[in-house]
Structure 1
């Protein structure tokens, strides 16, 4: 028997069922699904206690997505979505992973489970330790765990030999302390989940508008004439966004959807907060649907820009907002001239869309100025991801659709505090002004050299240039690309430390020595010095709000994330002048330090106690683009995809199921796509299936091709789906093994999980159960 820990989910099929794709999203089925999950994981009474506090002004912030809550009145018992309910149920589960569990289950045994099975094991109750050469985690005291971390960190030749990763669920308080600890230790090696998702958005928006955040508020959706949703599936990933889109439609606005797959949630939905709407046909959302080919976005947007330019030349002043352009922007002549280099004949085949449909969408853009553009991973995880987003900005700038009510940019973030983590300083490329402020407040010399992002951290660990990995939340090995390479990198570390609530695959792919440090979840009471504490988070639209959980922790041996950071700092930093113990005794002290070092947090403790919180300053929202490189909003020159597919090759993108949030798998169904009880599938165009001599549910192996390298993922079932020709889609993390580490977006270094070139080989046998 192999003693190697499995880095990938097992190649095991679970019994697929294909159902008719529903015609509408949310409504009663979503409520039933959420309540069923709550009942199973935590029970009815505890579940009601959770849900009545979820996303309420005096409750706790959902640990799922970063979609904002209404500023004013919130729903009494349903200010959450199906996946939000599942997220809190997962964290509050009755199941527990105790030292006895680890004594009876070896790491090798656990690694043979699926990610779904691993996650269902439950909450980790004690800090645990895996000595070198052993195969069973064992209990360790907090004091001994912190001492081990301090000893190993201080034994390094350089602080840059350690990597400190952060997940987007970490609170502002924990994130601020974490980055302070890391920088006092002496490195900027602070990779985070942003490196794998919206890093491209941050780069694109900083270069064009001078701020790495979106410019709209939730209320803007009530006033928009047109909302463009591109490269995003809110019905699964941000379901509460559907309510905002419903308000746009109710107020007479139009919605353009641009996506390779037709996603049910963007077509029609039933408001779960209104029982009168649970029956009937639901509310239609999308007015124009453009099924763009994978990575055909820049080509499509250039066609739209060219059509806008033609109409402006016909009717000068009727399409472009010349007053806004003259006062606020730079680079228009160059951008318009560059459009002439591209012909419709060259661009149109890249889109896979009929010109008449593109003209229909363009007409809505031409005839309106209050335009919001929303996007997510479908744009950010390509080689030309920054170009994708900057081309969107070009459209908004031509229309003057930034810094006005009902208009602007809306990058829809994933994890609930991923934006807050970056605001708190979790970044490998910190600004000098931020480091200056840290030095002044905390009296140490901050490192100035840029650190490692996720991709560079993996490469450094693999080359044994980085020897310690500490992860504040997340499931690193399942979230990152190139699964086997990443696993090999982690195994080369001297020490890996995971700060977690529940068991995941990253606990089983470890360094020579490993620690798991269990922390409180956001839904639990956090007592410091016998006084209940609250933490704060920042949502996608820059609102800072407090969060305090109602539940008793599942174990007396858990510590809060801030307390864990303080414990590591006290054990490691021998010359620190920071009183870490005092900071965690009352989190107001942490917030006072945040106020002293980060702009926008004046009177932090007082303002965040106002129910609903407060907005951070946003220059783009205020029509101020002076922070950009030119001091104005910048038009840019962007390139379409340069990827060429050979005969027999396909473009593959990874995506989530409806029973999943990032790497957390709640169940095995993807009901909005009609796939139940199976994750090892590949969606294919029916005509491509005929060309490849494939039938529905044929068993295939997938091979990715990059720079003469090949990576293989075995045992996937073919599912026919409405997706453009030569385009395919698979679920992650099962398909992450196919994503090459070195295939990254220009400028942002984000893995290109949405543009993986693959070939598909049919298995010799059709006996599915032989897998």
Structure 2
């Protein structure tokens, strides 16, 4: 939806990541968003004990007390929130929804901060001002008129803080449903569902301290320079002390090659940089499972050789014997596996597999990190469990300097799940919630994101409430998702800025503007702090610093409380009492959720506290009481395999990815400088060999059509081919532009996450935009 600009070009980027280029972009974004000069000082309070937590990524802070704890993309997020531009009711008086729909996602974002609650008026096709009281009354009226609480769904974005998320889940469960689609469903759900069956909890087992002691770091399916740039500072230190870093990713990303740290004057002044990864392994798309299983098979074979030769064992037999179960069946499955199949399915030559496996075998303290490159596939749960198997083989869990490290996206996506934003809550959680608040919570599992869209299409969900996010664009199968939302009786969007989802609305619709993370949240004249949990289970408090963008904004916590009061009254919960002082909500959290003892006191300390992770201490909360090896076969009868059998080498596998100028669905600009793309977004990265095989040339324009088995045509038209160093048979393109190609039914088995990194597609020639004119 973003348009190309007059300076659209492809120009390979030859510099190190970050450095002066990042500082230049910081300045550009502060100017572009017209951030008031007084707000520049906000950056010095970003990720500080007495400041606010970055509204961007969930990477933890080393000291949480340094003077330079922000990155380029963090500044973009803060600048977007601290902008002086305002989307007032006058904007909506000028444009109909149909007219706003013609604007790009970038243009919608650029209107600035929303200032007043708005209600959709069908007669004029415009959003009109509405009072807060009337807005909450409209929500309550719709919810009370439903025949069944399960006819409503309540979406949560990872930007929601713990206090708002806890109150939200309490309101919804008191209302009577577990319909909690959330952004976790679309990113790390395979981690959350896969790890509990292997190590007992769906979270990572490391802290930043472990990065100081690891000797080997395996980075799977990640692009830190764009998605969590502060991670590069940690990788820099790991590299400089001589540890081995391996990047396992179809794309050789610039940020994992070389990095110039803006916080280190010597590197900046000398224009020098630090190498990050020294080894790059590039599986084909959807080849990670076979690659990890191949490494495990090699480790086992090396151990067999050690036994035969009477040399030191490769396996950590003490760990396996004391802490695990299921190893014999797992080992038998590995021995029976065919090397030729693993090589074919991974797309990695055997000599590269051996090299990677030898690095793993030599490592005494290995950390493995991963992002959505592992989680957005059909076999993602099996892949995460195979990765856990591999780490257990050498005892690399619960050891200092070693462990599992899933790197989450949004700033509090992990915390929201901890707070109970979960469509499949545990009985123990529901028991404690019901006991503390004196009610019987619903026990039936609710809808996840994909199931919510399907339920809306079938008329089973009629009210949709979104606590942040951009649901209509972040989700797959875009035309069907839009049809689903438009079928609703009411859609409610809690937000800071205008986005596409506000224009894809139900018969009734509300836009409720909220405070941003950077803004002072006053309740009864007292500034409130909110808490977040990062990717490594550190919980800390965040205080806004800036004056609110409008006097008519409410905090997310206050909005949730007012919805609860309007819908349910105050018989069981005094909603406004909780919203007057967030410490009261934290007291309630302490009573319901394990690990939050003395919550208010502990979070008041600089840096907060670590929320214990049992598997880090080699305590296994599994059915067996031990870490569990789980064997999985290589699946060779997937929709992707069947599509390839039908279409042969013409069939390509597409992955969606972010540009460097976006965060999730928020488009800050139209450049992706580390990949050499400027002024445009409708591009497809393709291998030179595939260009020749398909009869195309670099710069040709194509339409993309996904191949699925339901007879629905899914298209994304008008993309320029860009020759790129990507494995044969694999393509890369930006989302949300290519989300229409992802079928709702194409998702991770056992997790429901859209398979956005393994989309079977065919290319056809298209006219260039200039020819079309």
Query: Superposed, which structure 2 residues align to 1:107-506 within 5 Å?
Result: 107-278=97-268, 279-316=270-307, 317-506=312-501
Query: Superposed, which structure 2 residues align to 1:555-704 within 5 Å?
Result: 555-574=550-569, 576-625=571-620, 627-642=621-636, 643-644=640-641, 645=644, 646-647=647-648, 648-704=650-706
d(CA) in 2 for partners of 1:576 and 1:769?
66
1:64 matched to 2:67: no
d(CA) in 2 for partners of 1:513 and 1:61?
34
CA RMSD of aligned residues (A): 1.4
Check the 8 A contact 2:685/2:732 in 1, yes or no: yes
Shift of 1:48: 2.0
Shift of 1:220: 0.8
CA spacing shift, 1:421–1:273, aligned 2, 3 Å? same
Check the 8 A contact 2:223/2:253 in 1, yes or no: yes
Q: Give CA deviations for 1:295-318 in whole Å, capped at 9, x if unaligned.
A: 111111122112111111111342
Check the 8 A contact 2:5/2:679 in 1, yes or no: no
The residue number in structure 1 matching 2:22 is: 30
Shift of 1:210: 0.3
1:55 matched to 2:50: no
Shift of 1:725: 0.5
d(CA) in 1 for partners of 2:287 and 2:492?
41
d(CA) in 1 for partners of 2:563 and 2:290?
50
SS at 1:706 equivalent: coil
The residue number in structure 2 matching 1:522 is: 517
Check the 8 A contact 1:295/1:641 in 2, yes or no: no
1:91 matched to 2:85: no
d(CA) in 1 for partners of 2:743 and 2:5?
25
Task: Decide which of 732, 755, 763 is 1:760's aligned counterpart.
Answer: 763
Report the number of matched residues. 759
d(CA) in 2 for partners of 1:233 and 1:388?
19
The residue number in structure 2 matching 1:5 is: none
d(CA) in 2 for partners of 1:653 and 1:607?
42
CA spacing shift, 1:541–1:767, aligned 2, 3 Å? closer
CA spacing shift, 1:38–1:149, aligned 2, 3 Å? same
d(CA) in 1 for partners of 2:181 and 2:504?
19
Task: Decide which of 752, 756, 773 is 1:749's aligned counterpart.
Answer: 752
SS at 1:209 equivalent: coil
SS at 1:137 equivalent: strand
d(CA) in 2 for partners of 1:437 and 1:303?
44
5+ long unaligned stretches in structure 2: none
Shift of 1:440: 1.2
Check the 8 A contact 1:683/1:718 in 2, yes or no: yes
d(CA) in 2 for partners of 1:308 and 1:188?
43
Q: Give CA deviations for 1:332-386 in whole Å, capped at 9, x if unaligned.
A: 1111110123222122122222322222211111112211000010010100001
CA spacing shift, 1:657–1:641, aligned 2, 3 Å? farther
d(CA) in 2 for partners of 1:761 and 1:386?
33
d(CA) in 1 for partners of 2:705 and 2:232?
36
Check the 8 A contact 2:240/2:274 in 1, yes or no: no
CA spacing shift, 1:671–1:428, aligned 2, 3 Å? same
CA spacing shift, 1:481–1:51, aligned 2, 3 Å? same
Q: Give CA deviations for 1:92-142 in whole Å, capped at 9, x if unaligned.
A: 111111111101111000011111111111111000000344411000000
Shift of 1:229: 0.2
Check the 8 A contact 2:157/2:467 in 1, yes or no: yes
CA spacing shift, 1:689–1:768, aligned 2, 3 Å? farther
SS at 2:158 equivalent: coil
Check the 8 A contact 2:653/2:730 in 1, yes or no: yes
d(CA) in 1 for partners of 2:423 and 2:347?
38
Check the 8 A contact 1:215/1:410 in 2, yes or no: yes
d(CA) in 2 for partners of 1:423 and 1:277?
40
Q: Give CA deviations for 1:33-58 in whole Å, capped at 9, x if unaligned.
A: 11220122143623422201111111
d(CA) in 2 for partners of 1:181 and 1:14?
49
5+ long unaligned stretches in structure 1: 1-8
d(CA) in 2 for partners of 1:466 and 1:767?
40
Q: Give CA deviations for 1:497-517 in whole Å, capped at 9, x if unaligned.
A: 000000000000000010000
Check the 8 A contact 1:133/1:512 in 2, yes or no: no
1:730 matched to 2:724: no
CA spacing shift, 1:339–1:14, aligned 2, 3 Å? farther
Q: Which moved more, 1:137-146 or 1:638-647?
A: 638-647
SS at 1:265 equivalent: helix
Check the 8 A contact 1:387/1:639 in 2, yes or no: no
The residue number in structure 2 matching 1:3 is: none
CA spacing shift, 1:185–1:441, aligned 2, 3 Å? same
Check the 8 A contact 1:298/1:641 in 2, yes or no: no
SS at 1:340 equivalent: helix
Q: Give CA deviations for 1:367-422 in whole Å, capped at 9, x if unaligned.
A: 12211000010010100001111111111101100011110000000000000000
Shift of 1:449: 0.5
Q: Give CA deviations for 1:538-557 in whole Å, capped at 9, x if unaligned.
A: 00000110001110001100
d(CA) in 1 for partners of 2:472 and 2:425?
25
CA spacing shift, 1:758–1:123, aligned 2, 3 Å? same
TM-score (norm 2): 0.96
TM-score (norm 1): 0.97
d(CA) in 2 for partners of 1:287 and 1:248?
12
Check the 8 A contact 2:47/2:64 in 1, yes or no: no
